[in-house]
C-alpha cells in the first residue's frame, strides 16, 4: 500500500506571507503551523496586567514591551511564536515593525491547554535565544509564578506565590506577584476536582 502523502512543510518566508493575510494567528514551528486558540478572560486579564505594569515602569527607558500580537523569531530553532508579553532592549528590534529577535524577557501565561508545552518544548526553543535573560510563567488558574533566570552555569528556577515579589533582574524591576492578578478572579490555589462517588 502506498504511504499517505505527508503534508508539505512551509518555509519561513511562505509563513510570513501567509500570516500577513490570515485572519487567524498561527505559530510556526519548523515548517508546521499551529493556530492560536482563544484565551480565557483570566488569561487575558493577567497578560494585560503584566503588559500594563511593564509598559508603565519602563516608560522613558530604551526597552519596549509588546503583547500577544507581535511575533518573536527564534532563528536557531526555526520558529515564530506569539509570546503573551515580551520585552526587548535591543535597538535592532525597533527597526522591524512585525518581528522581535532579541528579547531580554518573555512572559507566557499558563492555561490548561498550554502549561506543559510552555514549560517544555517552547522553553527549550526560547533557551536558544542568546539575548534572553529571563522567562516567566504566570499561571491563570492560581496565583503562582515560575521564573527561569539565565545564570553563568545554566537556568535557575524560582517559584513564587501570591505574597512574594517578582524580581526581574533583566530589566531592574521588582513587581509584587499580587499586582499581576489585580482585578481578576484567579484564586490563591487551583481547585482540584473532587473524586467521583
Burial class (CB in 10 A: 0-12, 13-18, 19+), 176: middle
| Domain-wise residue ranges, the chain | 39-181
Angle at 93 between CA 88 and CA 98, to 5 degrees: 105
Bridge partners of residue 134, in order along the sequence: 105, 149
The pLDDT value recorded for residue 197 is 43
The pLDDT value recorded for residue 191 is 57
What cell was used for 190? 487551583
**Computed from CA positions of residues 52, 54, 58, 63, in that sequence, does the dihedral angle turn out positive or negative?**
negative
Q: How many residues does the chain have?
A: 197
Distance set, CA 86 to CA 46, 50, 134, 152 (Å): 14, 10, 10, 22
- The count of other CB atoms within 10 Å of the CB of residue 35 is 9
Please count the CA atoms within 13 angstroms of the CA of 101 that sit on its side-chain side: 11
pTM of the entire structure? 0.90
Supply the CATH classification number for the domain 39-181: 3.90.1570.10
The pLDDT value recorded for residue 3 is 46
With a CB cutoff of 8 Å and minimum separation 6, the contacts of 92 are 101, 102
> CB of 18 within 8 A of CB of 24?
no
Angle at 129 between CA 94 and CA 136, to 5 degrees: 90
Sheet arrangement for strand 154-161 = 64-67, 85-88, 103-110, 134-139, 144-151, 154-161
- Averaged pLDDT, groups of 10, the chain, 197 residues long: 58 95 94 88 95 96 94 97 97 93 97 92 97 97 97 96 96 97 88 49
Amino acid at each position: 500500500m502506498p504511504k499517505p502523502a505527508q503534508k508539505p512543510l512551509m518555509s519561513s518566508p511562505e509563513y510570513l506571507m501567509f500570516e500577513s493575510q490570515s485572519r487567524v494567528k498561527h505559530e510556526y514551528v519548523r515548517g508546521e503551523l499551529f493556530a492560536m486558540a482563544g484565551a480565557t478572560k483570566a488569561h487575558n486579564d493577567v497578560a494585560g496586567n503584566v503588559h500594563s505594569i511593564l509598559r508603565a515602569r519602563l516608560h522613558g527607558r530604551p526597552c519596549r514591551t509588546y503583547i500577544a500580537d507581535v511575533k518573536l523569531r527564534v532563528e536557531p530553532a526555526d520558529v515564530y511564536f506569539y509570546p503573551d508579553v515580551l520585552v526587548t532592549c535591543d535597538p535592532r528590534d525597533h527597526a522591524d515593525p512585525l518581528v522581535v529577535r532579541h528579547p531580554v524577557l518573555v512572559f507566557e501565561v499558563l492555561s490548561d491547554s498550554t502549561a506543559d508545552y510552555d514549560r517544555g518544548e517552547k522553553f527549550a526553543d526560547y533557551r536558544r535565544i542568546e539575548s534572553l535573560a529571563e522567562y516567566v510563567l504566570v499561571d491563570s488558574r492560581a496565583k503562582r509564578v515560575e521564573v527561569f533566570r539565565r545564570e553563568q552555569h545554566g537556568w535557575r528556577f524560582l517559584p513564587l506565590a501570591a505574597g512574594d515579589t517578582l524580581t526581574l533582574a533583566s530589566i531592574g524591576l521588582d513587581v509584587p506577584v499580587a499586582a499581576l492578578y489585580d482585578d481578576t478572579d484567579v484564586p490563591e490555589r487551583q481547585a482540584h476536582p473532587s473524586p467521583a462517588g
